[in-house]
Structure 1
Amino acid sequence: MHVLTREANFSDALLIAELTRACWADRVAASSSGHRESVERVQQQLKRDGAYLLLVENEIVGSVRWLPSENDRHTWEVMRMGVLPKYRGDSLAEHLLEAVIKRAQSVSVREIQLAVRADQARLLALYATYGFVLAPELTYAHANPAEPAPTVMRRLLS
């Protein structure tokens, strides 16, 4: 299986919005804003933040985004990582996570944070294998106040 990640660009916004909605379908609670991802929101993020696309045999099957923390430009938040249902179970999301970690290290980011929805707690173990630890002292800035607070994790980079 030929797997590749590539950095997304502004012209990928429609694709990323569609991918996010498809990855969230039947997997994440309907209250998640990922189900309502818009091209405009993705375009806004891509103007100042970054994203990777995941390709398997030249077919785009997943994506992930990151953005600098509101409080510290040396801290990134990873968000909206997803792989299409047909491609799950082969640890493909790990390629996306590894790409973000390598990129962060290359630009002297000191810390990566992410939030795991309460209904996606099975993902905590995946992130722990990549050196992320629970960070109960942190609050996720983009949390939906109508839902249980997500679990925040962090990884310090050298």
Structure 2
Amino acid sequence: MARGGGAILMHGGETIGSGRWVAVPGPGGQGTWMEVKRIGVQQAFQRQGLGAVILDALEAAGREAGMAGAQLAIRADQPRLIDFYAGLGYQPANDVELTTVNPLSPPPFGMRKIFKD
């Protein structure tokens, strides 16, 4: 959290979802971007658009912190998320460099969104 930020989604005093991000160099080392690290929603609250609510809060915090855009990676076992993020303005990007990589997993699918003023 010291290098980025996060968001917690509450319902009735209970945490039902969260997300976090870290600041990273932009594409080609240009500018500062945010890397969306993880977004999760408890199973009972999934498929209600709450992941998009969390992402919107993360992006707002990134914009406020001066980030030029956001990047993320989708695990190979979660291809359905490609359409989810595309619907929120993210474009495929094969040059996304992650801050943490799992060498035991297949390469993830990178996506990127430029923030417009």
TM-score, structure 2 as length reference: 0.87
More helix by share: 1
**More displaced stretch, 138-147 vs 111-120:** 138-147
SS of alignment partner, residue 2 of structure 2 = helix
Q: Deviation of residue 79 (structure 1)?
A: 1.0
**More displaced stretch, 97-106 vs 70-79:** 70-79
Check if 1:75 corresponds to 2:33.
yes
**RCO higher in 1 or 2 (8 Å CA, sep ≥ 6)?**
2
Name stretches of at least 5 consecutive residues in structure 2 with no aligned partner: none
More strand by share: 2
Q: Deviation of residue 139 (structure 1)?
A: 3.2
Say how many residue pairs are matched. 113
Check if 1:58 corresponds to 2:13.
yes
TM-score, structure 1 as length reference: 0.66
Rounded Cα–Cα distance in structure 2 between residues aligned with 1:72 and 1:83 = 32
Rounded Cα–Cα distance in structure 1 between residues aligned with 2:61 and 2:83 = 22
Moved over 6 A (4+): none
CA contact (8 A) 1:53 1:63 kept: yes
Larger radius of gyration: 1
Name stretches of at least 5 consecutive residues in structure 1 with no aligned partner: 1-45
Q: Deviation of residue 72 (structure 1)?
A: 6.2
